[in-house]
Amino acid sequence: MNQAKHIAIIMDGNGRWAQMQGLKRVKGHETGAKVVKAITTYCSNNENIERLTLYAFSTENWKRPRLEVEFLMKLLDNYLKNELPSYLKNNVKFEPIGDTRAFSKSLQKTIKMVEEKTAHCDGLVQSLALNYGSQDEILRAVNALKNSKKDITAEMLNNALDCKEDVDILIRTGGDSRLSNFLLWQAAYAELFFIDKLWPDFSSKDLEKIIKQFTKVERRFGGLK
Ligand code: IPE
Ligand code: IPE
Ligand code: MG
């Protein structure tokens, strides 16, 4: 029976969720943040799950209207500050991935603060993908290794990435079946789950169902069973 250690989620559908009820798109992001909290708590209480990687802001999301981008930055800042006690209570370590140098100095400070204050936590690792793009991550890794005297090995490249752990389960909510530049290297052998539900409607019950389904999958990794 498979046990999922690393779950990664493309949290999509916030805007549509809000618009369907005549609300502004940003209301969907606000509700989506509550689901982040619920799913993180659920995973922190599941002994088998070691890592939860959540796609929060992509390298392509800068293309959105300025006001939506600003709202997302403020929401992230508030989320991290407000949730620090829950991280500590649930023994969750916060580990950002992505190139956060593009963010404002004050948001970078909040990110660093929560990272440092939760560094000792040894339960779940909650990794938020912030200004993350898999192609950008791979390029930064290759550039960091380019002066190596030896040929670059898969292990060297893997260790130069922001996220160094293979993904077991990759979920995308919101009805689309694409990866949108998320964990292309790490998801090489992930089981993919594309869910129609929009992110604000996703619940720990839905995640529980997926984890159960995953336990029954035959993973061959290119070999035979
Ligand atoms: C995902 O929801 C959240 C982010 C990308 C920040 P969307 O904002 O993409 O919602 P839809 O896909 O437009 O409904
Ligand atoms: C992916 O969703 C990024 C995040 C969930 C943060 P998008 O809504 O940005 O993806 P596309 O544009 O539909 O591919
Ligand atoms: Mg979307």
- Average pLDDT score over the chain: 98
**13-17: average pLDDT:** 98
Residue type, 42: Y
Q: Would you name the residues annotated as active-site residues?
A: 12, 61
For the CA of 14, the nearest ligand: 1
Looking at residue 109, its pLDDT comes to 98
**pLDDT, tens digit (0-9, with 9 covering 90-100), for 29-49:** 999 999 999 999 999 999 999
Rounded to the nearest 5 percent, the helix, strand and coil shares of the chain are 45, 15, 40
Looking at residue 225, its pLDDT comes to 82
Residue 26 has pLDDT above 90, yes or no: yes
**pLDDT, tens digit (0-9, with 9 covering 90-100), for 80-101:** 999 999 999 999 999 999 999 9
> Domains in the chain, ordered, with CATH?
6-132+167-215 (3.40.1180.10)
What are the beta bridge partners of residue 192? 170
Using CB atoms within 10 A of its CB, is residue 47 exposed (0-12), middle (13-18) or buried (19+)? exposed
Please give the number of the atom of ligand 1 that sits closest to the Cα of 56.
6
Residue 150 has pLDDT above 90, yes or no: yes
Instruction: Output the CA 13–ligand 3 centroid distance in Å.
Output: 5
